Amino acid sequence: MDIKNDFDNYNEICAVKVDISKIKQSISFIISNIKDYEFRTTVYPKYINFENCISIAKYLGSVGAKKYVLQQYKKVPGLNVIPFSSEKLLEIQKSCNEFVPTYLRGI
C-alpha cells in the first residue's frame, strides 16, 4: 500500500481533501488480513522530508506493521526536484527502523 505522506500533510501531496480514517482502516485491514504486504512511501523531496518519514514509521510501528519501504524518487525531466542522496535515505531508513522494519528501494 502506498502511503503518500504523514497524516498531517496528506492533503497537500494529494491536492485534495483525504479521509485519513479510511487510510487508517486500510492499513489496519492489510495488517490483519494479508500475510505478505508492504507499506511504502516515495521520498519526493518537494513534499516528503525526514520528519514526515519518521511520523509514518511511528504510526506503522504503533499498529504492528511488519514492513515499511522508502522508495527513492527518480528525477523527472522538466521538474526541478532533486532526489535525496543515498546517504540521506540511509539516514532516514536508520531512524525509521527504530519504529518499524524499514527497507530502501531504488538506490
pLDDT of amino acid 53: 98
How many domains does the chain contain in total?
1
Interior CA angle at 3 toward 5 and 66, to 5°? 120
pLDDT of amino acid 23: 97
Closest CA to 43 of 98, 99, 78, 87: 87
Taking only the tens place, the pLDDT of each residue in 14-63 is 888 999 999 999 999 999 999 999 999 999 999 999 999 999 999 999 99
For residue 2, being part of any structural domain is answered with: no
pLDDT band at 75 (very low <50, low <70, confident <90, very high): confident
For residue 1, being part of any structural domain is answered with: no
**CB–CB of 53/70 below 8 Å?**
yes
- Tell me the pTM: 0.94
Q: One-letter amino acid identity for 78? A: G
pLDDT beyond 90 at 12: no
Residue 45 belongs to a domain with what CATH number?
3.20.20.70
- Domain boundaries, position 66: 10-105
